[in-house]
Every structure is written in structure tokens, then in C-alpha cells.
Amino acid sequence: MNDFREAAKLIERSSKIYVLTGAGISTESGIPDFRGPDGLYSKYSPEIFEITFFRRTPLEFYKLHVKLLEMMLKAEPGPGHKFFAKLEEKGKILLVATQNIDGLHQKAGTKKIVELHGNATRYYCEKCGKASSIEEVVEFVKNEKVPICSCGGLIRPDIVFFGEPLKEQDLKLAFDKVREADLFFACGTSLVVYPAAFLPELAIRLGIPFIIINKGETQYDDLCSLKLDSSIGEAVNEISKHLTL
């Protein structure tokens, strides 16, 4: 319990909180992670999420994508999404940098956000750049057709596939903002996916207080200021009991 109280104290003393989130913050909303016991990798080959697979067999990727998309669109923000949205309302949040592609932070009300791996509900043509709607893409897939733009280009989701680099402007913003932070959170992420896993390393080098909320070990557990080995929901609920915002 003392650790939750300590986390609350750090939050109260801070006005520029940087939050890095991973799949663990959305599992409580029913969105599966990749590497967990019931994660996507336990049901599907990791190859499906690679850019080479998408280029080779886009329709096969899209069939799975539409299933996951339906799940994402039905999902509601979990306790962690709501907690950080509330902290933003109170003027405490500098930036939320998420590795998730589900849009649940925005659904909770977060505005100061960078989506490092993109957003699965946005689509564009690789050839001409024109945006496409969810409805257009779903219609193609339901008719067993690859989503193709009117210009003939392949329509793709606005996500970063494995094997692709992150968008330079998003990465720059994410790293630049760490330097302004007075508290760094890593929530629901095992901190093994790079370059996002370099963000806490920068926070440590800069001497910024660093809190990890994650069920299970991370490589930074011995280097952080505070490790809360619990679900996001339990952690933010306990922290909230000690906050006087």
C-alpha cells in the first residue's frame, strides 16, 4: 500500500507527467495483447503482423484485421485510460505516448497524445495518400476483395507493421517531450519493443522519477523509482485513494 501512496505523492508534486502505455492498459477493455497467455501470438502467427506478409497477402491480413477492428470499436476505455484522461483534465499531463493502435485513450478524453504505432481505425492509399473510411475497407473485405483506392493503389491501415520504421515526427516528439517531464510513467508495457523502450532509458539518464505499472517483470525494474507489480486497474484505483487532486 505504501508504494501506491508514494506514487500518489509523486503525481501530486508533478505538473508535467509523461505516460508511456502498452497493450496491458487495454487488456482490461477486452483488447488482447500480443505476448500474453491469451494474446494474439497464442492464436495467430506473428508473421501476420509483419509488413512483408501484408505486401504479399493483404486480404489475409485484412480478414484478421476486420475481426480485431470490430472488437476495438466496441471496446470502452478501461480504468487506466480514464485515470490519465482525468489527470490531463487537472493539467498534470505533458504527453501520453502509446504503443497501442486502438484509440481508447482518445475515447477516454486524452488530447495530448502521440500514437507511436499508429491507429487501426484510419486508412490511406499508399499511392496517392487519400484517406479511406472504415466502412469502405470493411465492405471490400466482406466481399473478399483487397481494399483498393480509385487510383488503383493499395489501401493500408495507418499503423506501423513489424518491420517498418516509426514515423519520424512521432518519434521526435516522443523523445523531445521526455526532456520536459518531471515524472515518467510506463504502464502495461514489458518495455521490450524498440525504439519505444529507449524512452524510459532517457528518463533514467535525465534523473526523472520513473514509475512502472506492469504485471510481470521488465528490464527496468531495478532502475525505476517505483515498481507496481499489479494490473493497471488495481494500481490506479489504489493510487486514486491517496490523491487529493
Annotated binding site for Zn(2+): 125, 128, 149, 151
Q: Chain-centre distance of CA 77, in angstroms?
A: 12
CB within 8 Å of 168: residues ≥ 6 apart:
none
Binding-site members are: 125, 128, 149, 151
Read off the C-alpha cell for 77: 476505455
Range 169-207 burial, b when 16+ CB lie within 10 A, else e: ebbeebeebbeebebbbbbbbbbebeebbebbbebeeee
Residue 239 contacts residue 6 (beta carbons within 8 Å): no
Which of 226, 172, 224 is CA-nearest to residue 203? 224
Catalytic residue list:
117
Q: Hey, which bits of 100-238 come out as E strands? A: 113-115, 118-125, 131-132, 155-159, 183-187, 210-213, 226-228
DSSP 11-36: HHH-SSEEEEE-GGGTGGGT---SSS
Q: Phi/psi of residue 93, each to 5°?
A: -95, 130
Strand partners, 132: 123
Judge whether 85 and 106 are in contact, CB under 8 Å. Answer: no
